[in-house]
């Protein structure tokens, strides 16, 4: 007989769930985030492989933390039809953990491919950034702001060269209404937009982050760099881009123009040649 868990006082999910272990077998650790650990998991009935993000409830220190996890799950369901978003397969909760079962992306992070290659050709960068901007546009059309776009949060579904790129980690994402302004400083230092640092921003900050990713794809280095986090933030607020160092002299003007437009005009019309 299947056992269901539901303790309203400590529950993250507003509904009962079966126990994860009744349906899945957890395997090796795949990654570690701020709140949760991701494991390989096997569906017992089909032997299909998935990824399972397990979030210890002891790390959820206040009601806001509980709401953040529930919002992440809602947003993943909200975006579940998009082909370039990691698909959520199910959610499970017990007394100790909340588990989010997702499709397994076996091709690794976009970040790792950049490290492996140093930098990427314009043709390949065009394909990747078109996918990334497509995800941003889809999020925004559904009233979702990601707020943590970076190469570590894009995964390839297979190790093949023609693998599909998929967005993941919606832990900092929020729902928003047109014209709504946010003030909480969130994101990752190299990719955060100046509006976030000024504590008054909207969905345009995702386009800034996509522009930073494009700069890194083409050059292999971040556009704003310093020894300390506060130094990085100063560089971002100054906003000076280096197009003099290698490999920029060999990169097309259209690519450089797009990078200039994306962060500063927050344009979403991506066309690289």
Catalytic residue IDs: 148
Flag whether 240 is marked binding.
no
Q: Which residue, chain included where needed, has tokens 């950034």?
A: 129
Tokens of 258: 């797009």
| Calpha distance 243→198 (Å, rounded) | 26
Q: Is the dihedral of CA 234, 207, 182, 87 positive or negative?
A: negative
Tokens 């437009």: give the residue.
261
Alpha-carbon distances of 143 from 202, 244, 254, rounded to whole Å: 11, 38, 30
b (16+ CB within 10 A) / e for 193-223? bbbbbeeebbbbbbbbbbbbbbbbbbbeebb
Q: Which helix (H) or strand (E) holds 165?
A: strand 165-167
CA distance 86 to 38: 14
Give me the residues paired with residue 31 across strands: 38
**C-alpha dihedral sign at 156, 31, 145, 270:** negative
User: CA–CA separation, 106 vs 112, rounded Å?
Assistant: 12
Is residue 98 within 8 A of residue 113, CB to CB? The reply is no
Name the token pair of 255: 């690519």
Residue numbers in the known binding site for ATP are 53
Residue numbers in the known binding site are 53
């Amino acid at each position: 007989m299947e056992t269901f868990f539901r303790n309203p006082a400590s529950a993250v999910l507003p509904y009962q769930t079966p126990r994860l272990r009744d349906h899945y077998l957890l395997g090796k650790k795949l990654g570690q985030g701020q709140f949760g650990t991701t494991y390989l998991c096997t569906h017992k009935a089909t032997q299909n492989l998935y990824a399972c993000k397990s979030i210890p409830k002891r790390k959820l220190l206040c009601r806001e933390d509980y709401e953040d996890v529930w919002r992440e799950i809602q947003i993943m369901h909200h975006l579940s039809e998009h082909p370039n978003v990691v698909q959520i397969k199910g959610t499970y909760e017990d007394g100790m953990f909340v588990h989010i079962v997702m499709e397994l992306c076996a091709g690794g992070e976009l970040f790792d491919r950049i490290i492996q290659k140093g930098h990427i050709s314009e043709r390949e960068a065009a394909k990747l950034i078109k996918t990334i901007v497509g995800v941003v546009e889809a999020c925004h059309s559904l009233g979702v702001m990601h707020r943590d776009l970076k190469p570590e949060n894009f995964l390839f579904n297979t190790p093949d060269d023609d693998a599909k790129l998929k967005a993941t980690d919606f832990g900092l994402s929020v729902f928003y209404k047109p014209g709504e302004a946010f003030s909480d400083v969130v994101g990752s230092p190299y990719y955060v937009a100046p509006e976030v640092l000024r504590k008054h921003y909207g969905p345009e900050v995702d386009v800034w982050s996509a522009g930073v990713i494009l700069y890194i794809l083409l050059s292999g280095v971040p556009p704003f760099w310093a020894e300390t986090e506060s130094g990085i933030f100063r560089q971002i607020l100054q906003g000076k881009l280096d197009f003099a160092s290698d490999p920029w002299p060999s990169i097309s003007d259209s690519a450089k123009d797009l990078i200039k437009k994306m962060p500063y005009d927050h344009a979403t019309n991506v066309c690289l040649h």
